[in-house]
Amino acid sequence: MTPNTPYRAIFCDLLTDRTIDILPLRDVQFDDYIGKPGSLSGTVPVPDTALAARVRRVEEGRTAVYLERGGDLWWGGIIWTSTLQSSERGVLTLGIQAATFDSYAGRRRIRKNLSYASKSQFEVARELWRELQSGAGGDLRVQYGDEVSATRRTVSWRDGDETVYAEALDQLATLEGGFEHHIAVYRDPATGERIRQLRLGSPVIRTGSTDLVLDRPGAILSYSFPRDATRGGTTARTRGASVNNNQAAESRPLVSAERVADDLIAGGWPRIDLSSDHNEVTSTATLNSLAAAELARARGAVVIPEITIRLGGVVPPSLLGRSTRIRITDEWHPEGLDARYRIIGVKVSPPQRGRPDTAELYLEEG
């Protein structure tokens, strides 16, 4: 990072987590989300041959990078691509693009028969991660918690379908009564060791026991409350694999029953149809569960509020899943808005060239 930034970039071997080097990283932006990979981009300056020799040790696909702020880990993931560039004036830089450790599940495919009968959905999620980490070269040192879910699933995946592990996890998580997942990075308070841990929560992941209070005027610099009816609906149906026991007949996909938000329609909403495809699902019951979950997530208009805050000592590193109390007084809210949300995404822009250290928070009600 630049000399004036509160962050430092630690580059490590992906499989052993052995520190390779601490290098300057400029023009950094990073984000993280619950349920999907976050990203990081930045540029390593290469002003001389000595630093070039150090930077060469950063290899895409096998190097991890962490961002540390005030002794706390704020981000960790895998460098997937790099670009060496030389300007017209001969200035060399190495641009890097990285994604959080859960992106690894998107690069691995199920290549054996896996079957789980009436098993806790959390344990199935952990078993999928154990499987993808079990072979030689596959262990990313992701650890597991002891979260408990009473919801049991009967699911299977077949060798030869080349199902991506990330897709299997998402399919399991998005069933009715499903869960959220995220890989957190932090330092062990006793040993200082860097930890990568799979977090699970049903129906959602929650962090911390007290609300993070944010005010405008105050820590909140700006906000937006978009409402999008094109992404929502009042009915949902899902389609699965094509099933044909009669070769003389046309193959048709399995379909779920139509799920309808009767309360919204009774309240005056029009019928707006949601539909999604799940080509590897061969169970009508699973499709019904997926349709119900899809409608629950996107009833009516989809609202994902965003606020931009100034980072400071009041803001902790573990923001995802934390409840926050938003208090806003302005022309739109002359009597004051006082609402509670949960943080489901974070995008951080470290300070540079006079810009303050800020974070965009993506919120959901609850």
Domain CATH for 359:
2.30.300.10
Question: Tens of pLDDT along 235-282?
Answer: 999 998 887 666 666 778 899 999 999 999 999 999 999 999 988 788
Quote the percentage of the chain above a pLDDT of 70: 95
With a cut of 60, say whether residue 4 has pLDDT above it: no
Range of the domain at 126: 108-201
Same domain, 61 and 17: yes
Strand partners, 32: 346
Q: Give the CATH number, domain containing residue 144.
A: 3.55.50
With a cut of 70, say whether residue 163 has pLDDT above it: yes
> Which tokens hold the place of 321?
């899943």
The answer to whether the beta carbons of residues 315 and 214 sit under 8 Å apart is no
Give the pLDDT band (50/70/90) at residue 168.
Answer: very high
Find all residues with CB under 8 Å of 136, minimum gap 6, and list them: none
Burial label for 109, CB within 10 Å (0-12, 13-18, 19+), is middle
Same domain, 354 and 215: yes
The answer to whether the beta carbons of residues 295 and 274 sit under 8 Å apart is yes
Same domain, 159 and 61: no
In angstroms, the CA 183 to CA 281 distance is 26
What number is the average pLDDT over the span 40-50?
A: 94
Give the pLDDT band (50/70/90) at residue 283.
Answer: confident
Q: What is the domain count for the chain?
A: 4
With a cut of 50, say whether residue 183 has pLDDT above it: yes
pLDDT of res. 5: 56
Give the pLDDT band (50/70/90) at residue 71.
Answer: confident
With a cut of 90, say whether residue 185 has pLDDT above it: yes
Give the CA dihedral 293, 198, 157, 254, nearest 10 degrees.
10
Same domain, 247 and 315: no
> CB count, 10 Å around CB of 257?
13
pLDDT greater at residue 67 or residue 314: 67
Same domain, 291 and 346: no
- Domain boundary among the residues 265, 297, 329 is at 297
Same domain, 32 and 134: no
With a cut of 70, say whether residue 314 has pLDDT above it: no
- Domain boundary among the residues 297, 323, 340 is at 297
CA distances to 13, 124, 179, 296 from 149, in Å: 34, 11, 9, 20
What number is the average pLDDT over the span 74-94?
A: 94
Q: What is the DSSP letter of 323?
A: E
**Mean pLDDT, all residues of the chain:** 91
With a cut of 90, say whether residue 14 has pLDDT above it: yes
Same domain, 70 and 90: yes
Closest by CA position to 206, among listed 363, 36, 360, 342: 342
pLDDT of res. 249: 63
- Domain boundary among the residues 297, 319, 341 is at 297
User: Does a structural domain hold residue 2?
Assistant: no
Same domain, 113 and 177: yes
User: Does a structural domain hold residue 1?
Assistant: no
With a cut of 70, say whether residue 313 has pLDDT above it: no
User: Does a structural domain hold residue 73?
Assistant: yes
Backbone angles phi, psi at 349, to 5 degrees: -120, 105
Same domain, 197 and 113: yes
Strand partners, 65: 11, 77
What SS3 state is found at 166? helix
Same domain, 216 and 344: yes
What number is the average pLDDT over the span 21-49?
A: 94
pLDDT of res. 2: 47
Same domain, 11 and 95: yes
Same domain, 155 and 38: no
Give the pLDDT band (50/70/90) at residue 3.
Answer: very low
Q: What is the DSSP letter of 355?
A: B
User: Does a structural domain hold residue 124?
Assistant: yes
What SS3 state is found at 123? helix
With a cut of 80, say whether residue 315 has pLDDT above it: no
